[in-house]
Structures are given as C-alpha cells and as structure tokens.
C-alpha cells in the first residue's frame, strides 16, 4: 500500500539501505573498519542564505568508524534500520514511542539480542534520528511519525482536502467547526488547500490559548484570515503546515509571540528557517515568508507594555541573556544582513534586560476585550512587523 | 608549670558567657568537654614524652536538668604525668589566662577555653563539679576528689578528698556529669572528633565506648612522641596593635630598645637602625615602656610594620609526617587506597605553616556514598575543627581544586564526591582564625594557595590509583561489548544486504580481528597505568618501608590463607589475569556464547572481594575488645 509522499524524493530507501549494509559487510570481510557518514547537524555546520530562506547543511560530516566504543551504536543502528525497512515494506506506520516498544519486544523475544535493549526512549529516538542523518531522509519517509502537537487552526474561509491512503478523499470546511480547531497531523504537505473567499493573511500565535481567545472573541468572523496556535517550539507538523499554507495559498503569514531570545531563536527562527538539528529537512519544514509581527520593542514603547526584568542573578534569566548573545555570535540566521532588524531586537533585549510576553497586550485596555485584535490589525495595516 | 599559670579574674564573666566558649548548645557542650579533656591529656603526655593512651567513655544516664538535654557522663582517662593535689583545684576550678596563650607554640590549647569551663558547666547544670582521680609518679596512692568552681571567689574548691588505690603508675581521670546531647556522626559528631584525633596523632592509643556501642580500641601506629618545638619569640609582623601593647605590658620597666630586641624574633641592633631610618624617634628608644601612651605605641607600631624584616623561622612548626599519616589513616576504616602529602614549612602571611594532606578511599561506606560529598576533616594544630566549615581556608582550597582530573566526581566549586576522606592539617604557631569560636581558619589568599598545592600533589598520587581502576574497568567493558554486539551487528548487516552465510562468517572473522586489536590497545593502556602505579608504590616503599597494614602479624596467624601476598598484590594480579584470559578467548571465538566464561570470571572477582573482606573482619575483631 503506497503512502503519500512527503516530498518528491528520488531516494529509494530500501535500495540505499541495502547498498550501505553491503558496503559495511564488504569492509568487514576484508578486515577493514566500516564507516558510516552522517551530516553534521549543528549550528556550526549550518549555512543561511536569505534567497534560499532556510538553514542548509555545510560540508561537515560526522564519521562513525567501527571500534570497541562504537560497536554498540552501529549494532543498534543496523537493528533499528531493519525494523524500519520492514515497516516500509508492509506500509505500517509508527510513532517513535511505538518503535521504542517494538524494539523492546523484539529484544525480549530473542535473547541473543538482549544487549541491544533500549533503557529509555531517548536512546531509540537517537538511533532513529541517526539513521535519518546517514540516509539523508525524513523520519516520515521511514514511516515514522511523531505525535506532533500544536498547529490548531481556525478559519471561516479555509477548506482542506485530504487524500486518504485508500485513495478516498475527505474534505473539511474549517468554517463549520465553530471554535473547535482543525489540526493537521502527520503529513500536512499532503493536504490540498482552498479558500472560499480570498484570505487576507495568516496569523500564527505562539500561545495556543491566546489564539483560541482571539477566535472566541470573533477574530475570524471579522477578518478573512487563518489563525493558528503554535504551542511553543513548532513541531514538524506546525512547520510543514505553515509551509503548505505559504506555498498553496500565497498569503502573508505573521507570527505573534513573546519578545525574548527564546521566542526569537527557538520558535520564530525555527518556523521561518528551520533548525540546526533538522538541517536535511528544513527545505520542507520551514516557511521563509513568515514575518515577525511582535511583540516588537516599538510596541513596548507605544503601548507602554508591562515587561519583566531579566536579571543576571536569576539562572534562567542569565541563560536567556546568554542565549541572545550566542544567537548574535553563532547563529547564521541572525548574522545575515537580511535579518539585521531581527538581530537588532536581540541587541535591544540584551541592552534593556527585559522581556515582554504576548499576553501583555491584554493590559493595554482591560475593559475592551477586542484591544489585542485591534492592535494586531493596526500593526499589520501600519506595516509594523519585521 | 605553676609559675606559668596565672589566675584571672574572669570566672564570673565566663560563667555567664559559657555559650561563647563552646557551650552554646547541648550538642556542643558534650563535644567541648570531651575536646578540652582529651587535648589536655595529649598535651600533658607530650610535655613529658609519654606515649599517650587515652580511654574515653560517654554514657547517657538520664534526663538533663533542662528540657532538651540528657544527663551525660563524659569520662576521660589518661596515662599522663598526673597532677599534684595542690594543682587540681587550680587546673580544674580556676579560670586561667590560658598558660599557652601567645607562646608561639604549635600546642593544642587553641580553644583557649580551659578545662575549668567544663567544670563550670557541670556545676551549673548538675550542681557538682568534676570528679577527678590523679596520680603522679611520686604518689603511692591516687587522690580522688570532686573539684567545684567557686565562681564568686574565682577559686577551685576540693571536696570529698580520698586516697584510693589505682593500678597505674601515673595518670589522670576526669569525670563530668553534664547536661548535653550526644551526636556521634556528621560534622559536629563525637565519633568524627575521635577519628580525627586518631588520624593526626599516630602515637595515640585510644579506647572508647560511646553510649551503648561496643568498646573500640585503636592501637598506636607510631612509638614516636612528637616534641612540640620550643616556642619562638613572636614576630612583630604577626601582631596587631592591641597584642603589641599587651605584650609590652609584660616588660614594664624596660626601655623600648630592650623590649624590641629581647621580646621579639628577627629584631637586632641593625634592625633598630632601620627603624630610626624609617622615622622612629631616637628619644623613644631609651624611654621605659611604662611611660608610653597609646599614641606613642601607635607610632612605634606603625614604623615597625613599615620596615622590612626577615621572615619568622619555620623551625617552630611541627609536622605529623607522611609515614605516620599513612599508617594512621588506615586506622579509620577499611581503606582500599590512600595518598598523603606533607609540604615543607612555608611562610604564609609572615607566619610559618605546614600543610599536610591525607586522602583515603573507604571500602565499606554506604552505596550512595558515590554521590555524596567526601568527608572533609580539618585540623588546626592537630585539633579537629568541626563547625562553620564553609568559609574556612581548608574548605575553600578543597573546593578550588579540579578533582575531576584526578578521577573524582565533582560539581563546580564544591567538594568532590565519593567514599573518600580528605584530611587537611594546618600547623602553625600563629594560626589566624576567622572568629572567636576558632572553628574556621582565616582564608587568606596565600594560605589557601599553599593548601591547594598540597591537595593537588596528594590528588595526583590518588589519580594514579583511580586511573588504573578505570582502565581495568574500561577494558573489561570493551571486551564484553565486542562479545555482545559483534555477532548482532554482523547478522543484521548480512540480512539487510541479503548476503549468504559464507560472507557473514568471513565478515565476523574480520570484525573480531579489528576489535581484537582494539582490546589489545586497551590492555596496553591498562598495563601502563599499572606500571606507573607500581613505580609510585615502590618509591613510597623505599621511603617508608611497607605501609600495608595487612601484614599485621595477628592477621597472618589467624588467617594463613592470605599471608603470603598482600591484599593489593592479590587484587592486581587477579584482575589483569582475568582480563587477559577473557580478551584472548573473545578474539578467538566471539560467536560462541560466553556465558560460562563470564560466570567463572565473576566468581574470581567475587572471591577476591570475599578475601578482602575476611582479612578486614579478622583485623577488626582483634581490635575490638570483648564486652
Ligand atoms: N590531664 C592532665 N594531666 C596533666 N596535666 C594537666 C592535665 N590537664 C591539664 N593539665 C595541666 O593544666 C594546665 C591548664 O590546662 P587548661 O586549663 O586546659 O589550659 P591549657 O590547656 O590552655 O593550658 C595545662 O597546661 C597542664 O599543664
Ligand atoms: Mg586545655
């Protein structure tokens, strides 16, 4: 049973895997140490080109050569690869947690395999990620799907069509869902989007709660738009979903979240340009056209927003200041000329030693429940975004 | 002696302020009483060149007079010179402007409290002073009496005096019935104090019975009775203005010049000239001290401080010594290895000091000792310091060392972790304490650095032991890894590559060749680490002879099975043999399951441990008196 593809990829995974193993076996037959090579997924191997729009891998590679210290890792890799190839063969899909249990089950049934046993899911997750990096494939292409959170979406205009694995189609009109959100799960790239009326913009809100509040207060009724909750650091589903909205609907997307280093780097940058940990998949899991609507330093001033002091005494505050400095120094995204304005926000954060939460907009005029909506619309109209 | 003892008029003051001198809580009261008595016994023995044997007993006999306290009896008996009848009320019943204060000696009287405070505490909480039995060499019968403190008259009073038979040529026994609470372990514990005292007094034989526990006997490991070096005259740079003036009062009618040249070290006629060059008024020099007022003293003091002087001599410093420390530390428990370091005397902040360090790892500490901080024992002039450790120079120095490089776990800027005892002893005729309670050595930069150096040197020696251990464990783990994962890897590869059995087998041979090479390498590393350790031990042996206590003849007699080789030799040989055997087999036939072999290996290891344990047990039972 063929599954919908996440991307148009020419990689034939079973074939690649077989070649890889054959090569390792050949090395061993000649008493040579087999080596596995993987893309180095870290910030120091990330490149950013504003015309490409997302972080891409540099040419650093991590080589794992067989020796007494790596033999466990390699044995686990080959073992898990076999499990995944079997899934591809039968068309079964699993979450990482399920794969963890499947591995445990196999180990239990065959006592020869006992040494491979994973004590915690983090161990099996690491092996799965490693296989992706070696084969340069997406986890989804190995039929492994995370239980992704976030991405709750509200709109009166949007219609989503999903082609199911048996070929039938399901259509969801978001407008008919009331205040319940639509949530894309595993493969948002496989969804077909259509707008009933022209959609003016898409608003991604860091806090899912605030997204829901806006909708409950009539935001989507009054505006031809899409509102989405990111729920913190965007999951693969949220990232892929944003990219799908960007590519299929071609509407401006604005991100609205806290004003601090964490939101800027971990949430916004990941949404817009992907992350260092997912270098090989950023092309399909980032939406480079997303703009940063706020909270901006200028909003703090204009609306006299309530801020928190960030002191070096508090450990988490100190970490966040350090994070801002690190981002400016080491993150190619913030170092790029095109993102000068975003970098200047980080500078501002370091200089003023404050942070401002998205919910602080509710302090501006507490008697009027629509204030936040008004400010957001006004900012979009004024072009007050980065 | 009596000439040096001067009565002070502070009895009443002390009686009201006992909390300032170590009696601030029921817990501290017991510890201070014990400390005062044991310190005095040790000092008295050393003064007379007697190897001390001290017997301590602490009993809980009922409820105390105050709410949170028990009635505790503290008994300390020594084989020291004893005291004459006339001196008993003076020593135990009068407050003395401590006979040792400012003598410039490394004597123990650091608390400066005196035993009379303990008598006062007994009297205040239980209406009776101290019960003593004393016998000097000259006496045929011993004197038994109660000494009370007459607080108003500041006099000791002798009561219920009796002549009694005592089967001892000389000695003194003091019994205090006091309000108190007994804590055995931990920083302020009685046992911690006794163990610490044992460690830095290798020549001490100590017997003790604490509460309902069995008698414990710890024999001396050195016959050498240290002589506290002769006091040196104070060095003017080690004094504060107030001390300088007090010192001057003792010289009353003398002229300033005479006072300076005879009352201090490192001041000669030439130095006097330097003083005048620095602006000291000539008229001062011939003026008698009685005519000086405070301003004059200030002026003189300032000039002296401004003038360069030779450093004080380091001859006045006493050391325990590496050999004695090595033996002594083995008395604290079942140790699997240790390292000691005695630094040369050094001048820190113009004062001579010697720093000594002993580090040992204990076998029988509880399981979670791995993750707990090490036990730190601090000593100032051989007196254990048990409170206020945080800001002490010793604690600061221990925290500043990167113990991880010696193989100990440690989080940044804190004590390292694991079943270790780190003992640091600072000896100096002039120890500067941080505050009146004298539990914290002032953390001057120079002193902390000196202690840190000693710690690092001891740490390096320790590191060699730990590295060898790690290498051995590493090798064992690596060999086990190959046996475990090799076949799985090859099987998996063959299945995915859809390769025939012949290829699979050939690949496995190749794998074993590769990994065999690796384990050879690990084996070599282990051997190198072992060689380094052996070399260190040989060096130590050359210096002090064999320090292993497993050679104790008593142990050999009772357990002939282990007499031929020492514990350390046994364990080392066994590990490397086991490991070698294992690695060879693995290389030859990894494919075959190694369950059987592993079982035998484990057995050998277990036997090894069992052997160790029995040796120790035998020793302990010998040491422990039967009830
Ligand atoms: N157990 C003892 N045996 C013999 N002499 C003792 C004993 N205890 C105390 N003395 C004598 O009494 C003196 C006074 O003791 P103490 O009041 O504790 O002051 P310090 O210990 O500071 O000298 C000691 O210096 C010592 O000469
Ligand atoms: Mg004393």
pLDDT tens, B327-350? Answer: 899 888 888 888 999 998 888 887
What number does CATH give the domain B334-557? 3.30.230.10
> Quick one: DSSP state of residue A207?
-
**Which residues in chain A come in under a pLDDT of 70?**
1-9
Give phi and psi for B327, each to the nearest 5.
-70, -40
Report whether residue B171 contacts ligand 1, using a CB cutoff of 6 Å.
no
Q: Which two tokens stand for residue A384?
A: 């007050």
Instruction: Please check whether the two domains, B236-306 and B334-557, share a CATH topology.
Output: no
What number does CATH give the domain B10-218? 3.30.565.10
What spacing in Å lies between the alpha carbon of B251 and ligand 2's midpoint? 26
Number of Cβ atoms within 10 Å of the Cβ of A263: 23
Which strand (E) or helix (H) includes residue B118?
Answer: helix B115-126
- Rounded to the nearest integer, the mean pLDDT of chain B is 81
Local confidence band at B99 (pLDDT 50, 70, 90 cut-offs): low
B17 versus A199: the higher-pLDDT residue is A199
Residue that is written with structure tokens 């000693």 in the block: B454
The answer to whether residue B616 scores a pLDDT higher than 60 is: no
Which strand (E) or helix (H) includes residue A71?
Answer: helix A71-90
Name the residue facing A115 among B485, B490, B498 (closest C-beta).
Answer: B485
Pocket test for ligand 1, best of B40, B44, B78, B173 (most atoms within 8 A of CB): B40
Which residues are CB-contacts of B517 (< 8 A; sequence separation ≥ 6)?
A: none
> Quick one: DSSP state of residue A264?
I
> Quick one: DSSP state of residue B420?
E
Which residues are CB-contacts of A232 (< 8 A; sequence separation ≥ 6)?
A: A150, A206, A267
Report whether residue B127 contacts ligand 1, using a CB cutoff of 6 Å.
no
Distance, C-alpha B416 to centroid of its chain: 18
Instruction: Tell me the pairing of strands B420-427 and B375-380.
Output: parallel
Radius of gyration of chain B (CA): 31
pLDDT at site B601: 42
* Residue with CA closest to ligand 1 atom 7: B40
pLDDT at site B368: 65
pLDDT at site A105: 95
Q: Is domain B236-306 in CATH 3.30.460, yes or no?
A: no
The answer to whether residue B21 scores a pLDDT higher than 50 is: yes
Task: Rank A137-141, B249-253, B454-458, B577-581 by mean pLDDT and report only the highest.
Answer: B454-458
CA A327, A330, A332, A338 dihedral sign is: positive
B353-381: string of b/e by CB count within 10 Å (b at 16+)?
Answer: bbbbbbbbbbeebeeebeeebbbbbbbbb
pLDDT tens, B164-210? Answer: 999 999 999 999 999 999 999 988 899 999 999 999 999 999 999 99
Q: B144 pairs with which residues across the strands?
A: B133, B162
Helices A71-90, A13-29: crossing angle, 10 deg rounding: 150
The answer to whether B148 and B128 are in contact (CB under 8 A) is yes
Q: Where are the domains of chain A?
A: 13-142, 152-382
Residue that is written with structure tokens 């044995």 in the block: A75
Q: Where are the domains of chain B?
A: 10-218, 236-306, 334-557, 579-627
pLDDT at site B550: 38
CA-B108 nearest atom, ligand 1: 21
**Is the minimum CB–CB distance between B143 and chain A shorter than 8 Å?**
no
Report whether residue B444 contacts ligand 1, using a CB cutoff of 6 Å.
no
Local confidence band at B44 (pLDDT 50, 70, 90 cut-offs): very high
A188 versus B490: the higher-pLDDT residue is B490
CA-B99 nearest atom, ligand 1: 23
Report whether residue B83 contacts ligand 1, using a CB cutoff of 6 Å.
yes
Question: In chain B, what residues touch A67 (CB-CB under 8 Å)?
Answer: 514-515, 518
CA-B47 nearest atom, ligand 1: 27
pLDDT tens, B363-375? Answer: 876 656 677 889 9
pLDDT tens, B28-39? Answer: 999 999 999 999
pLDDT at site A208: 92
d(C-alpha B122, C-alpha B120), whole Å: 5
The answer to whether residue B605 scores a pLDDT higher than 80 is: no
> Quick one: DSSP state of residue A324?
H
| Least confident range of A128-142, B356-370, B482-496, B533-547 | B533-547
pLDDT at site B263: 87
Q: What share of chain B is helix, strand, coil (3-state, %, to 5)?
A: 50, 20, 35
pLDDT at site B545: 65
| Least confident range of A28-42, B103-117, B440-454 | B103-117
Local confidence band at B501 (pLDDT 50, 70, 90 cut-offs): very high
Local confidence band at B309 (pLDDT 50, 70, 90 cut-offs): confident
> Would you call A69 and B486 a contact, using CB atoms and an 8 Å cutoff?
no
Q: Which of B502, B504, B513, B514 to mutate to probe the A interface, most A CBs <10 Å?
A: B514
Report whether residue B91 contacts ligand 1, using a CB cutoff of 6 Å.
yes
pLDDT at site B436: 66
pLDDT at site B571: 40
Closest C-alpha to A297, from A338, A353, A227: A353
Instruction: Tell me the pairing of strands A291-294 and B142-150.
Output: unpaired
The answer to whether B81 and B234 are in contact (CB under 8 A) is no
Helices B501-544, A13-29: crossing angle, 10 deg rounding: 60
Architecture of domain A13-142: Orthogonal Bundle (1.10)
Q: A160 pairs with which residues across the strands?
A: A172, A193
Closest C-alpha to A264, from A154, A386, A373: A386
| Least confident range of B68-82, B93-107, B218-232, B464-478 | B93-107
The answer to whether A227 and A211 are in contact (CB under 8 A) is yes
Name the residue facing B496 among A18, A72, A74 (closest C-beta).
Answer: A18
Q: B209 pairs with which residues across the strands?
A: B57
Beta strands in B7-109 (DSSP E): 53-63, 70-78
Q: What share of chain A is helix, strand, coil (3-state, %, to 5)?
A: 50, 15, 35
Q: Which long-range contacts (CB under 8 A, 24 or more apart) does A367-370 make?
A: A369/A217, A370/A217, A370/A218
Q: Which two tokens stand for residue B28?
A: 């501290």
B367 versus B213: the higher-pLDDT residue is B213
Architecture of domain A152-382: 3-Layer(aba) Sandwich (3.40)
d(C-alpha A54, C-alpha A273), whole Å: 4
B591 versus B469: the higher-pLDDT residue is B469
What spacing in Å lies between the alpha carbon of B395 and ligand 2's midpoint? 26
Which strand (E) or helix (H) includes residue B512?
Answer: helix B501-544
**H helical segments located in B190-321:** 190-200, 241-249, 256-263, 269-277, 282-285, 294-306
d(C-alpha B172, C-alpha B87), whole Å: 12
């Amino acid at each position: 049973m063929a599954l919908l593809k996440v991307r148009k990829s020419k990689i034939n995974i079973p074939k690649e895997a077989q070649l890889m193993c054959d090569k390792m076996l050949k090395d061993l037959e000649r008493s040579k140490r087999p080596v596995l090579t993987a893309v180095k997924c870290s910030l120091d191997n990330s490149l950013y080109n504003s015309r490409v729009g997302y972080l891409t891998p540099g040419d650093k590679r991590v080589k794992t050569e067989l020796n007494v210290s790596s033999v466990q890792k390699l044995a686990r890799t080959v073992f898990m690869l076999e499990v995944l190839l079997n899934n591809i063969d039968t068309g079964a899909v699993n979450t990482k947690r399920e794969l963890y249990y499947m591995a445990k089950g196999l180990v239990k049934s065959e006592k020869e395999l006992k040494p491979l046993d994973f004590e915690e899911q983090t161990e099996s997750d690491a092996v799965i990620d490693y296989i992706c990096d070696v084969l340069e494939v997406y986890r989804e292409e190995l039929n492994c799907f995370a239980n992704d959170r976030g991405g709750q979406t509200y709109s009166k205009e949007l219609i989503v069509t999903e082609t199911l694995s048996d070929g039938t189609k399901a259509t969801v009109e978001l407008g008919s869902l009331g205040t319940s959100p639509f949530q894309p799960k595993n493969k948002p790239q496989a969804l077909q989007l259509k707008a009933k009326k022209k959609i003016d913009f898409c608003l991604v809100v860091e806090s899912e709660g605030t997204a829901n509040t806006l909708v409950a207060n009539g935001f989507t009724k009054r505006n031809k738009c899409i509102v989405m909750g990111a729920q913190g650091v965007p999951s693969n589903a949220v990232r892929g979903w944003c990219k799908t909205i960007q590519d299929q609907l071609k509407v401006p997307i604005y991100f609205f979240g806290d004003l601090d280093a964490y939101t800027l780097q971990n949430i916004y940058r990941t949404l817009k340009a992907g992350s260092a940990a997912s270098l090989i998949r950023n092309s399909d899991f980032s939406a480079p056209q997303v703009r940063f609507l706020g909270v901006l330093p200028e909003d703090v001033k204009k609306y006299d927003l309530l801020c928190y002091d960030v002191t070096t005494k508090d450990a988490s505050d100190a970490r966040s200041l350090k994070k801002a400095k690190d981002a400016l120094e080491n993150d190619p995204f913030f170092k790029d000329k095109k993102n000068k304005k975003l970098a200047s926000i980080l500078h501002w954060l370091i200089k003023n030693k404050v942070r401002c939460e998205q919910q602080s907009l509710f302090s501006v005029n507490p008697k009027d429940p629509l204030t936040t909506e008004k400010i957001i619309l006004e900012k979009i109209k004024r072009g007050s975004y980065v | 002696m009596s000439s040096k003892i001067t009565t002070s008029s502070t009895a009443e003051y002390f009686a009201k302020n006992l909390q300032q001198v170590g009696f601030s809580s029921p817990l501290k009261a017991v510890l201070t009483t014990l400390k005062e008595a044991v310190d005095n016994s040790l000092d008295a023995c050393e003064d007379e060149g007697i190897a001390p044997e001290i017997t301590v007993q602490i009993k809980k006999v009922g409820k105390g007079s105050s709410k949170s306290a028990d009635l505790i009896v503290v008994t300390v008996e020594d084989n020291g010179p004893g005291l004459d009848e006339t001196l008993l009320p003076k020593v135990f019943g009068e407050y003395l402007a401590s006979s040792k204060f400012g003598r410039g000696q490394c004597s123990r009287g650091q608390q400066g409290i005196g035993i009379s405070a303990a008598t006062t505490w007994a009297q205040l909480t239980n209406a009776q002073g101290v019960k003593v039995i004393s016998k000097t060499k000259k006496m045929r019968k011993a004197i038994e009496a109660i000494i009370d403190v007459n607080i108003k008259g500041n006099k000791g009073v002798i009561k219920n005096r009796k002549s009694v038979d005592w089967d001892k040529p000389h000695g003194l026994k003091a019994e205090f019935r006091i309000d108190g609470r007994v804590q055995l372990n931990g920083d302020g514990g009685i046992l911690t104090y006794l163990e610490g005292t044992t460690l830095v007094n290798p020549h001490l034989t100590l017997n003790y019975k604490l509460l309902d526990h069995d008698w414990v006997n710890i024999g001396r490991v050195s016959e050498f009775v240290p002589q506290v070096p002769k006091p040196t005259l104070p060095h003017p740079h080690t004094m504060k203005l107030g001390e300088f003036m007090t010192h001057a009062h003792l010289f009353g009618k003398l002229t300033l010049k005479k006072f300076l040249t005879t009352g201090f070290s490192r001041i000669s006629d030439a130095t006097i000239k330097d003083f005048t060059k620095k602006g000291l008024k000539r008229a001062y020099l011939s003026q008698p001290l009685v005519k000086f007022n405070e301003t004059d003293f200030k002026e003189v003091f300032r000039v002296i401080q401004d003038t360069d002087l030779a450093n004080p001599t380091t001859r006045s410093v006493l050391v325990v010594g590496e050999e004695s420390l090595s033996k002594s530390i083995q008395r604290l428990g079942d140790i699997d290895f240790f390292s000691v370091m005695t630094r040369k005397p050094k001048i820190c902040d113009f004062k001579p000091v010697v720093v000594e360090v002993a580090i040992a790892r204990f076998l029988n500490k509880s399981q979670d000792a791995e993750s707990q901080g090490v036990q730190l024992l601090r000593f100032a002039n051989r007196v254990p310091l048990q409170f206020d450790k945080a800001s002490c120079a010793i604690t600061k120095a221990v925290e500043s060392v990167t113990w991880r490089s010696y193989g100990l776990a440690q989080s940044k800027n804190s004590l390292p972790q694991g079943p270790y005892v780190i003992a640091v002893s600072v000896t100096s005729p002039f120890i500067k304490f941080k505050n009146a309670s004298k539990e914290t050595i002032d953390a001057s930069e120079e002193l902390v650095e000196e202690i840190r150096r000693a710690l690092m040197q001891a740490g390096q020696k320790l590191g060699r032991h730990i590295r060898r251990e790690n290498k051995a464990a590493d090798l064992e783990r690596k060999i086990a890894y190959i046996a475990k994962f090799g076949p799985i890897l090859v099987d998996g590869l063959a299945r995915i590559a859809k390769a025939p059995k012949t290829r699979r087998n050939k690949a496995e041979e190749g794998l074993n060749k590769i990994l065999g090479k690796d384990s050879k390498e690990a084996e070599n590393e282990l051997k190198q680490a072992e060689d380094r350790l052996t070399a260190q031990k040989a060096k130590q042996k050359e210096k002090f002879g064999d320090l292993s206590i497993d050679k104790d003849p008593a142990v050999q007699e009772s357990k002939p099975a282990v007499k031929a080789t020492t514990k350390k030799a046994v364990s080392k040989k066994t590990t490397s043999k086991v490991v070698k055997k294992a690695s060879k087999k693995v290389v030859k036939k990894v494919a075959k399951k190694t369950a059987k072999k592993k079982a035998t290996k484990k057995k050998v290891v277990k036997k090894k441990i069992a052997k160790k344990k029995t040796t120790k047990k035998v020793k302990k039972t010998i040491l422990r008196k039967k009830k």
